Structure 1
Amino acid sequence: MLDLKLATFLSLCETRNYTQTASLLNITQPAVSQHIKYLEKYYKTKLFYYDEKRRLHLTEKGKLLRSFAQTIRSDSALILEEMMAPPKENSELKLGTVTTAGESLVPHMIAEYLKKYPNQKVSLYLGEADELLTWLQEGRIQCCITDAYCPSSTYESEELFEMETVCVCSPQHPLAGHTVDFQELNDYRLIFRENDTNSHRNLMHILHEHNQELGNFHSYVEIGTINAVKKLVMENIGISFIYRFVVQENLDNGTLEQIYIRGFSSRNAFSFAWMKDSFFTSGNLKFLKVCKSVL
């Protein structure tokens, strides 16, 4: 259980507003102030300061305490489930991953992990990159595979692999296997995942780097999952930009073909991350070792 004063502190870190924090925690504003003053007295340092526009900011020592408190909050939620589990029941690895990796690469990692630790339980949660970090802080998961930036002040992380994005199409598409200029893609339909996903943000970054936008293409299809995107591309409905590891098997067996683009290169780093100084670090490192062996 997270101490109420630390819970108040974390809430204030997020809202940067004493009134909002009081409302969220259902306590009075003076109580919020008292909790912060107590922590500042206990740690003998200022945790917050106001700038010239009366905006609330964390001090450097405040950032340090936030990292510590986030790990406590996360571990508290996870350890509660272990404490409530029946006696002699095997522990559970709660793993989060970005959806694109979770639907393709990560199941191979889990399979190898369970071969090595056959009595281990695993729960896999799919989400978007920023969402996974929130789940870590809340204790919904204990580790994750993400392509989001993981600040070292809050997370332990290690790069797993770097993966390129490739442009793919059906083998029957006119551009299948051809080398073209980026602008030549505009004559065709673009297929991509829905907005507010990391795949969509990656696509928009690629387009902006090449002075392009969605309206430049003949038409487009926006759809929910990466597997749905792949199926539409295989049906020769259009083209798509997808991480190579998602489509490598399709490229190998000929159900998809790559379109080569002059001067095009897009690579993203994927990392394995967990809360800094977490109680579950040793278990996370076991899974990380298996991940590396698979890769």
Structure 2
Amino acid sequence: MLDLKLDTFLTLCETRNYTKTATLLNITQPAVTQHIKYLEGYYQTKLLYYDEKRRLHLTEHGKLLRAYAQTIKADAQIIERKLKNPPDQPDELKLGTLTTTGESLVPHMVAEYLRRYPEKKVSMYLGEADALQKQLKAGRIQFCIIDTYCPPLEFESRELFEAHTVCVCSPEHPLAGKTVDFRELNDYRLIFRENDTNSYRNLMQILHAHNQDINNFRSYVEIGTINTVQKMVMENIGISFIYRFVVQEKLDSGALSQIHIRNFSSHSMFNFVWMKNSFFEPANLQFLDVCNEVLDSSVFHRQDSLPD
């Protein structure tokens, strides 16, 4: 259970407003002020300050305390779940991952982990990076696998693998296996995941880097999951930009073909992330070891780390 004063501080860090914090915690505004003053007195440092526009900000020491309190709060939630379970119940590992990796690569990692530790239980949550970071802070998951920046003051991370994006199509598509200029793709339908996803943001970065937009294409289809995107491409409905590791097996089997684009390169680093200074770091590193072994094994072959 997190100390009430630290909980007040964390809520104030989110709202940046004393009145909103009081409302959310169902306490009075003077109580919020008292809690913050107590923490500043205890640590003998200023935690927050107002700028000239009366906007509330964290000091450097405030940021440090926030990171500490977030980890304490997250670990407390995990400990609470473990203590409420019967002593003879197996440990449950809760992890999060992007939908892209959750539907392709991470199940291999979970399977190998359970082969090695058959007494364990695993819960895997799929979502977008920002939502997974929030779940980490709330203690709903112990770690996650994502491809976005994680502030080192709040999170511990390890580089897992580098993923390259490729343009794919059906083997029956006119551009299958060909090398083309980027603008030649505009004559065809583009298929991609829905807005507000990391996959969509990655696509926008690729297109904008080549002075392109989705409206430059003949038409487009916006779909919910990466598996549905692949199926639509295999039906020869259009083309898509997808991480190589997601489609490697289909490229190898001939179910999909690659369109080679001149002067094109796009890659992202996937990271293994958990809360800074978490009590559960040894357990997280145990799963990380399995991840690295799977990536080095025949399941993955590190093919995705190779340039096109």
Q: Which residue of 1 aligns with 2:260?
A: 260
Q: Post-superposition shift, 1:3?
A: 1.1
Query: Which SS does the other structure have where 1:270 is aligned?
Result: strand
For 2:6, the aligned partner's letter is L
Moved over 3 A (4+): none
Q: Which residue of 1 aligns with 2:80?
A: 80
Paired with 1:125 and 1:27, the residues of 2 have a C-alpha distance of: 33
Paired with 2:87 and 2:283, the residues of 1 have a C-alpha distance of: 19
Paired with 1:131 and 1:253, the residues of 2 have a C-alpha distance of: 35
1:46-90 CA deviation, whole Å, 9 max, x = no partner? 000111111111001100000000001111111111000112111
Paired with 2:285 and 2:89, the residues of 1 have a C-alpha distance of: 21
Q: Post-superposition shift, 1:281?
A: 0.6
Paired with 1:23 and 1:211, the residues of 2 have a C-alpha distance of: 47
Task: Determine if the alignment matches structure 1 residue 231 to structure 2 residue 231.
Answer: yes
Question: Matches of residues 29-40 of structure 1 in structure 2 within 5 Å?
Answer: 29-40=29-40
Paired with 2:241 and 2:22, the residues of 1 have a C-alpha distance of: 46
Query: Which SS does the other structure have where 1:263 is aligned?
Result: coil
For 1:20, the aligned partner's letter is K
Q: Post-superposition shift, 1:145?
A: 0.3
1:146-191 CA deviation, whole Å, 9 max, x = no partner? 0111111111100000010000000000000000000000000000
Q: Which residue of 1 aligns with 2:183?
A: 183
Question: Matches of residues 147-226 of structure 1 in structure 2 within 5 Å?
Answer: 147-226=147-226
Query: Which SS does the other structure have where 1:192 is aligned?
Result: strand
Question: Matches of residues 122-133 of structure 1 in structure 2 within 5 Å?
Answer: 122-133=122-133
Aligned residues: 295
Q: Which residue of 1 aligns with 2:50?
A: 50
Task: Determine if the alignment matches structure 1 residue 61 to structure 2 residue 65.
Answer: no
1:222-245 CA deviation, whole Å, 9 max, x = no partner? 010000000000000000000111
Paired with 2:73 and 2:253, the residues of 1 have a C-alpha distance of: 46
Query: Identical aligned pairs, as a percentage?
Result: 72
Q: Post-superposition shift, 1:25?
A: 1.0
Q: Post-superposition shift, 1:246?
A: 0.6
Q: Post-superposition shift, 1:20?
A: 1.0
Paired with 2:258 and 2:47, the residues of 1 have a C-alpha distance of: 53
Q: Which residue of 1 aligns with 2:298?
A: none
Query: Which SS does the other structure have where 2:176 is aligned?
Result: coil
For 2:74, the aligned partner's letter is S
For 1:73, the aligned partner's letter is K
TM-score w.r.t. structure 1 length? 0.99
1:210-259 CA deviation, whole Å, 9 max, x = no partner? 10011100000001000000000000000000011110010010000000
Q: Which residue of 2 aligns with 1:21?
A: 21
TM-score w.r.t. structure 2 length? 0.95
Paired with 1:273 and 1:61, the residues of 2 have a C-alpha distance of: 23
Paired with 2:53 and 2:228, the residues of 1 have a C-alpha distance of: 48
Paired with 1:58 and 1:87, the residues of 2 have a C-alpha distance of: 41
Paired with 1:195 and 1:282, the residues of 2 have a C-alpha distance of: 36
Q: Which residue of 2 aligns with 1:141?
A: 141
Paired with 2:131 and 2:159, the residues of 1 have a C-alpha distance of: 19
Q: What's the C-alpha RMSD, in Å, of the aligned pairs?
A: 0.6
